[in-house]
Structure 1
Amino acid sequence: MRVAIVTVGDELLVGDTVNTNAAWLGRQLAERGVDVERSTTVPDRVDDIAGVVDEYRDRYDAVLVTGGLGPTHDDMTMDAVGTAFGVPVEENEAALAWLAENGYARGDLAAGTADIPAGAEPLHNEAGVAPGCIIGNVYVLPGVPAEMEAMFESVGDRFVGSETHVTAVRVDEPESALIERFERLRERFDVQVGSYPGEHVRVKIQGDEERVVQEAAAWLRDRVETVEE
């Protein structure tokens, strides 16, 4: 399963808000064996959001869009997703009924709160108010992290990939000194290798078979200066 993540918000682009949603979703999807192939941040502009959603929904099995939901002036995501699918945005009766059951009367809601693209399946907001939705292979989630996480959990079982196994080796050598050994590792074992420098180099080894992943990690540990765990 190949997935793209789209995060929406001017505040993300200028650094006013740290984009934790993309990182959280990436981890959740990877743990399910899903291949995350794109993570894109776009401004609060209908044309930009719609353009990316329209492109990605044709290229990937699913697109996760977060941010820009609700009735305020900069909440443009639902309009943009409707534009991408060529359908209007309209008040959703199922979303209104769920909100009413949870103590939100229609008269208490700001205009546009329950608006989603026509024909979309509403996703109820267990941690907030504004609903998300599913239309085609596009999942629209809130930008508030707690709301986004709760809503993703309600549909998480729809994201299933191949079983994957991961382990890490912490190496006390410069990353540049490891290039040849990484090449030999990849030639010898059917695994993916990532290296992430910091105080030490964390080498991530990932593959479909746990036995192969553990053998690859053991092979590498025998050939590098490791950090005591």
Structure 2
Amino acid sequence: MKKALLGIALLSAIVFTSGCTNGKTTSTDATSDQSTTETTTVESTTESIDPEVAYQSILDDYSKKIKDATPGLVDEYNTEYPQQQGGVDALAELSNAKVEKLAEISNEGISKMADVKSESKDGQSSYEEWSKKLMAVYTEESQKIVEAYQVSATPVESSEPVVYQQEEEPQQQQQAVEQPVSQAPVEEYTTFNKGDDINTIAANAGISVEKFLELNGFTLDQYFFSPGDTIRIK
């Protein structure tokens, strides 16, 4: 509206001075050019976007979406898991399906951050910093679904037969105390399937994305998995 009013004012000035000397008309034209230049400068400044403001807006928006979706997904899991057949594997599959819904929201937000990086020519480090903040929100919230899975899986796992050992002789017990047997950490592996993503796998394993990548010899800056790959999760 201001731009339209400015144009009308300039047009009135030109009409008013049309009967005056050439020197006055030239002065009016110069004023018109200067005003147009100033208007263009203001518009260019208004249209510029601060990447940090855009990143923060996306982080706030998608963090809220993830946090708002989590309670409903936990309730869905708790409602649906009693009807599952197939033991722990079926429960894990159901849990993965709920976690993937949070992953979709997170991935959409990170994609928008990538658009900001591309449009603003912002640096890679700034984009990675903001995307990691959103991934941290996703990891924290998806863990709540994993915790619901772990609680539901406990009765299934405890139904396995328990093997009791006979008591050792006192001498054998003493020897066991004096020479404890060190146990190596148990490693666990699974298969990377089509549609899997590192966030979902790490959340279901109860570890951070960074730890999952470290176990498999990768980092956040460089990793690659293909369907059918054997991956370590513990």
Structure having the larger proportion of residues in strand:
1
Q: Which has the larger radius of gyration?
A: 2
Q: Which has the higher helix share?
A: 2
Q: Same fold (TM over 0.5)?
A: no
Sort the TM-score into its range (normalised by shorter chain).
under 0.3
Q: TM-score, normalised by structure 2?
A: 0.21
TM-score by length of 1: 0.22
